[in-house]
Amino acid sequence: HHLNVSHATATFGMGCFWGAESLYGATRGVLRTTVGYAGGSAELPTYRKMGDHTEVLEIDYDPTVINFKELLELFWNNHEYGLTKPIKRQYASLILYHDEEQKRIAAASMLEEQKRRSPEVITTDIAPKLNFYAAEDYHQKYRLQGHKDLAASLNLNPQLLQSSYVATKLNGYLAGVGGIEQFKTEVDTLGLTPTQREYCNYHIENNEGQGLYC
């Protein structure tokens, strides 16, 4: 139901997509996330055979709560994109814009970032978002799925693994993103059972998440 509010979409490649999904999932204004393959031309990529595609995260967000520029700040601050050794295409730094405005904001933001990081050279590519292929179910909400009993209790079918608001949020918080105080401010909106809530509280409070590392 959270998607009934008007939303926009952003698509970023920032290394292993598990970490990106947790980072944005726990971010305010992010409504849902899906990991997948994009940026290349190969048909029907899979994890084992993604061809010239890159691991990316598709983010649906409420632009009245968080804007594209703010999403980009998280992008620049949370992955490696200025390495001296080449990054495999699978883990390329990539901004796939959805419209001309995103294109303009991304270009300006990259220019600023390049100045800040000079003499290091940014390897990020900015390109139009063409095809997006959702990744296999086991890659969606990867950190949440690691909590087997909790995940089972949420009855996440393949469709919900991509569209569920509560799965999006928990996948972030359980990785250690957002923190317990922020979790407490929005746990009432997640519709958890008392058992689910207690389980999440315990794990988030004790910060046992793996963070953004893959």
Q: Does 37 bind ligand MHO (CB under 6 A)?
A: no
Q: Residue 204 is encoded by which pair of tokens?
A: 């988030």
| Phi/psi of residue 201, nearest 5 degrees | -55, -50
Q: Does 16 bind ligand MHO (CB under 6 A)?
A: yes
How many chain residues bind ligand MHO (CB under 6 A)? 6
- Would residue 214 show up in a list of annotated catalytic residues for this protein? no
Q: Which stretch binds ligand MHO (CB under 6 A): 10-18, 63-71, 110-118, 205-213?
A: 10-18
Q: Cα-Cα-Cα-Cα dihedral of 38, 32, 206, 183, to 10°?
A: 150
Measured CA to CA in angstroms, residue 80 lies from 85, 110, 121, 137, 185 at distances of 11, 14, 11, 26, 31
Kindly state the DSSP code that residue 101 receives in the 8-state scheme: H
Q: Does 17 bind ligand MHO (CB under 6 A)?
A: yes
Question: Number of H helices and number of E strands within the chain?
Answer: 9, 6
Q: Does 121 bind ligand MHO (CB under 6 A)?
A: no
Q: In the complex with ligand MHO, which residue's Cβ is closer, 18 or 76?
A: 18
* Residue with smallest beta-carbon separation from ligand MHO: 16
Q: Of 2, 7, 16, 87, which one is the catalytic site residue?
A: 16
Binding site for ligand MHO (CB under 6 A): 16-18, 55, 139, 214
